[in-house]
Amino acid sequence: MKTITLAHGNGGYESKELVEKLFYSSFSNSILNNSEDAALIEDGKLAFTTDSFTVSPLSFAGGNIGKLAVCGTCNDLAMMGAKPKYLSVAFMIEEGFSIDELKNIIKSMHDELIKNDAMVVCGDTKVVPKGNVDKLFINTTGIGEIYYSGISASHLKEGMAILVSRDIGAHGAVIFAAREGMALSSELKTDCASLYPQVKALVDASIPIVAMRDATRGGLAAVLNEWAVSSGVAIEIDEASIPISDEVKGICELLGFEATALANEGTFVVAVPATETKKTLEILKQTNENAAIIGMVSSTYKGKVVLKSAWGTQRFLELPTGELLPRIC
């Protein structure tokens, strides 16, 4: 690895290699090395996370970079059982950027903050000469208060159920269609949404959540592989049970993508004890009818994700590799 490539930002194998070989070697500590969506600090009382957003185009069906920034940061906190509370926001703006467009983006951020009952408490603005940044980049950092503890990618045990909160791949498909000027005859929109209300519903129903993660860069495939490695287990997935919309299937078939590798921004994966599967699914379906049970934890091939087809065949679902869709968030 001598130079950075776009593949290093895909959320898959190259991203993992970059983080582990370069960043972890210098910054390694007991908190960072947990590799969770957010760091647990102050003796596990708070969750702390940061993210940068460079999506192109800035606006797309169902959202824009502002909505994406707030949802992305608040969702990372929610995935650790934290109530999003405080955010910082830094804007990197290209000279000549439209004030009206910036107003719309800020309004979208405001709307999502209300849904999370969170607030921006500090920030920064930088304006750079034209050509030094692509219109607008946003960095957000969030702090949340833990109200459900014990969620971890390393806690999966054999027999646990794996569920997904809705159909997958919508965000990646929408961004690619918008970027390439594809005229979609459907109403396909990004799945970008704040997940805290759904997580709170699970907690309020006393669901014993074992692990939870929003399937952003690298998609469902990245989440499942990270869990299998972190817990030293196998995860068996029923391919036919993975919810994928016809529109996303069409784009994948047309362009050779795997829906399991496409990014999501409002879809999460959750692991629960087998006895809680039915109740968990019922709660998830209250928000999206496409929520589904997609598999279970086993011990067949430890550290691997096994995809089982409707025809009885099996194959490993690997971490995404190469340059798939850069700048989807």
* pLDDT tens digit sequence for 246-255: 999 999 998 8
Q: Which of 281, 73, 283 minimizes the C-alpha distance to 197?
A: 283
Confidence band of 178 (pLDDT split at 50, 70, 90): confident
Give the per-residue pLDDT at 304.
97
Query: Which tokens is 79 given?
Result: 């995935």
Both tokens assigned to 118:
């969170």
pLDDT at 294 over 70: yes
Parallel, antiparallel, or unpaired for β 268-272 and 305-308? unpaired
Q: How confident is the model at residue 319 (pLDDT cuts 50, 70, 90)?
A: confident
Question: How confident is the model over 2-25, as a mean pLDDT?
Answer: 84
88: β partners: 122, 141
For residues 104-117, give the mean pLDDT: 98
- Residue 26 is predicted with a pLDDT of 92
User: How many whole angstroms separate alpha carbon 294 and alpha carbon 78?
Assistant: 22
pLDDT at 115: 96
Q: How far apart are CA 50 and CA 56, in angstroms?
A: 20
Give residue 168's identity as a one-letter amino acid code: I
Phi then psi for residue 18, to 5 deg, are -60, -50
Structure-model confidence comparison of residues 291 and 13, the more confident one: 291
Distance of CA 75 to the CA centre of its chain: 8
Pick from 259, 301, 297, 267: nearest CA to 284:
267
pLDDT band at 185, cuts 50/70/90?
low
In this structure, how many other beta carbons lie within 10 angstroms of the beta carbon of residue 275?
11
Spell out the CATH class of 35-146.
alpha beta
- CATH superfamily, region 161-316: PurM-like C-terminal domain (3.90.650.10)
Q: What is the pLDDT of residues 229-285, one digit of tens each?
A: 999 999 999 999 999 999 999 999 988 889 999 999 999 999 999 999 999 999 999
Q: With cut-offs at 50, 70 and 90, classify the pLDDT of residue 180.
A: confident
Concatenated DSSP letters of 229-269: HHHT-EEEEEGGGS---HHHHHHHHHHT--GGGS--SS-EE
Give the per-residue pLDDT at 11. 77
| In the block, residue with structure tokens 């955010």 | 87
Question: Do 161-316 and 35-146 have the same topology in CATH?
Answer: no
Mean pLDDT (the chain) is 94
Please state the domain extents for the chain.
35-146, 161-316
User: Is the predicted pLDDT of residue 47 greater than 80, yes or no?
Assistant: yes
User: What SS3 state is found at 173?
Assistant: helix
In sequence order, which ranges of 162-306 are alpha helices (DSSP H)? Answer: 170-180, 196-204, 219-231, 246-255, 277-285
Question: 144-176 pLDDT, tens per residue?
Answer: 999 999 999 999 999 999 999 999 999 999 998
**Which of 220, 293, 199 is CA-nearest to residue 263?**
220
Instruction: Give the E-state strand segments of the chain in sequence order.
Output: 39-41, 46-53, 59-60, 63-64, 82-94, 119-128, 136-146, 161-164, 211-214, 234-238, 268-272, 292-298, 305-308, 314-316
pLDDT band at 184 (very low <50, low <70, confident <90, very high): low
Whether 12 shows a pLDDT value over 90: the answer reads: no
Whole-structure pTM value: 0.95
51 has pLDDT over 80: yes
Distance between CA atoms of residues 91 and 77, nearest Å: 21
Q: Which residues lie below 8 Å from residue 213, measured CB to CB, with a gap of 6+?
A: 37, 79, 153, 223, 226, 227, 268, 269
pLDDT at 43: 95
